[in-house]
Amino acid sequence: NEMYYFEQTDFEPCAIEIEFGRPARGENEHYSALNLGNDSEQVLIGGRIDRIDADSISGKRRIRIIDYKTGFVEAKAREMSDGADLQIPLYLEAAVKNILPGSFIHDGVYYSLKDMEFKTYKKERRPITGTDWNDFIDGAVSRAVLAVSEIRKGCFSPPEKKCDEYCEFLSLCRGGKKNEH
């Protein structure tokens, strides 16, 4: 399935396990944090991008972010379509701003190792590519900045569903099972 997906384009892997905004582990390259804030308040985002693929069109490099998932991806796919998932949009923003400046976005996908298939953001049932990512990235940036602002104020909204009983933050979470009253 992966071979078929990549046969359709000239994309090739150009970076694997790229760290940004946090200390590098081992010999991985490390890049600065994605700064989403303004002059009055910094919002720094870090992470590790599993894989960046690139190709070149008219001398400009376009990129695809691939994030490998080992578990159930269907919920993630729903979050992708309604804009609730922030990971791929923020990774794309970090890639074009900090890691591969001058590049432009083609797409971002999750690859389910369980199902051996790609899950992508969609709009009207069509995979999102190119400048269509702008709305998703703008939404992800706004959500991340708002979340950090609320956290700094001490405002934590309880989740809409019950937390996973194995979550390491369960004892701190107002929506957690251990805190139900």
Q: Specify the pTM.
A: 0.77
- Cα–Cα distances (Å) from 90 to 23, 47, 50, 57, 138, in that order, read 18, 9, 13, 23, 9
Q: Which tens digits make up the pLDDT trace of 9-54?
A: 688 889 999 999 977 676 667 799 999 988 778 899 999 999 999 9
Helix/strand/coil for 78: helix
Q: Which tens digits make up the pLDDT trace of 58-102?
A: 788 999 999 988 876 655 556 665 567 788 999 999 999 999 999
